[in-house]
Structure 1
């Protein structure tokens, strides 16, 4: 199972970014987590066996799934991670 760590910067806290990211993940059957970081960014761990759905999820996160969010920068990194059972908002 492929796991991608996405670091997102911009107007991504206080705008529903985590909520809309979870909705998108549930829609595409993506597993993992989303959490706010102390530096004002958001970290997403996204996991799926379906590469097409994972790519679609990443593209939407890079554009901000939240209507009032604005992504100004992002990082992508493939990581080794145990399998998630669902997608959760952390903190």
Structure 2
């Protein structure tokens, strides 16, 4: 099990992006959370095996109709146990 922190920059707030990420996480069985940041970025903490995380990331990068992603920063995160994927306000 691996946990990664993903920061997505671009046009990703106010377009249902967090709900989209939640749905994609549930489809790929990834656990963690998604949250809007005050600077307009979106933070995702994602936990799963390597294959799940790769599938999840590919879907998040390519499947939203209105998002315009400028950059994605991915880093390993401290292990934390997530039982579900949720939207943090």
Q: Could you tell me the TM-score, scaled by structure 2's length? A: 0.93
C-alpha separation between the residues in 2 aligned to 1:85 and 1:71?
28
- Indicate if the aligned counterparts of 1:21 and 1:66 stay in contact, CA closer than 8 A: no
Query: What are the ranges of 5 or more consecutive residues in structure 2 without an aligned counterpart?
Result: none
C-alpha separation between the residues in 1 aligned to 2:7 and 2:23?
18
**Structure 1 stretches of at least 4 aligned residues deviating more than 3 Å after TM superposition:** none
CA RMSD of aligned residues (A): 1.1
Query: Which residue of structure 1 aligns with residue 53 of structure 2?
Result: 54
For residues 6-85 of structure 1, the aligned pairs below 5 Å read 6-48=6-48, 50-63=49-62, 65-85=63-83
C-alpha separation between the residues in 1 aligned to 2:59 and 2:27?
12
C-alpha separation between the residues in 2 aligned to 1:59 and 1:14?
21
Query: What are the ranges of 5 or more consecutive residues in structure 1 without an aligned counterpart?
Result: none
1:8 Cα deviation after fit: 0.1
Q: Could you tell me the TM-score, scaled by structure 1's length? A: 0.91
Aligned residues: 89
